Structure 1
Amino acid sequence: MNSNTEKAQESESTEPETTDSEIKNLSPSATTNDIPEFGWSGYAERINGRFAMIGLLAVLLVEALSKISFLEWAGIISQ
């Protein structure tokens, strides 16, 4: 073998292997290194938690501005 083919074989063996995310051509989110996926994943739980916090804040704002409970405001219970 000549030195050129040996160098080519060495460079091929030192290249990093491609991961599943590179094969799927997905990139991580801007706020986390998790890749969005379906099912029970850390990414999905983080997003659900953020939406839950926004919903709770909305309920508290409705109660603070209307001076009645959210359940009365929504017409679920009557007093």
Structure 2
Amino acid sequence: MEEQQKFGFTQFAEVWNGRLAMLGFTIGIIVELVTGQGILSQIGLM
């Protein structure tokens, strides 16, 4: 049985990239709702 490649543009990498992107977006929205400031305000750009 051939071992699945875990780096590069593979199905495995793209699935995890999507999952982590959704997690980051959700955390960003929650932080914005809790603090009342957007990400640009939090890092001092606005």
**Shorter-chain TM band:** 0.7 to 0.9
User: How large is the RMSD of aligned CA atoms in angstroms?
Assistant: 1.4
1:58 aligns with 2:27: yes
The structure with more helix, counted as a fraction of residues: 2
C-alpha separation in 1, matches of 2:27 and 2:7: 27
Q: 1:74 aligns with which of 28, 43, 46?
A: 43
Where structure 1 has 5 or more consecutive residues not aligned to the other structure, the ranges are: 1-18, 22-34
Please list every run of at least 4 consecutive aligned residues from structure 1 whose deviation after the TM superposition is greater than 6 angstroms: none
User: TM-score if structure 1 supplies the norm length?
Assistant: 0.51
C-alpha separation in 2, matches of 1:62 and 1:55: 10
Work out which structure has the larger RCO, using CA pairs closer than 8 Å and 6 or more positions apart in sequence: 2
Alignment deviations for residues 29-64 of structure 1 (CA, whole Å, 9 cap, x no partner) = xxxxxx352211011000011110111011101110
Q: Percent identity?
A: 30
User: TM-score if structure 2 supplies the norm length?
Assistant: 0.79
Alignment deviations for residues 18-37 of structure 1 (CA, whole Å, 9 cap, x no partner) = x323xxxxxxxxxxxxx352
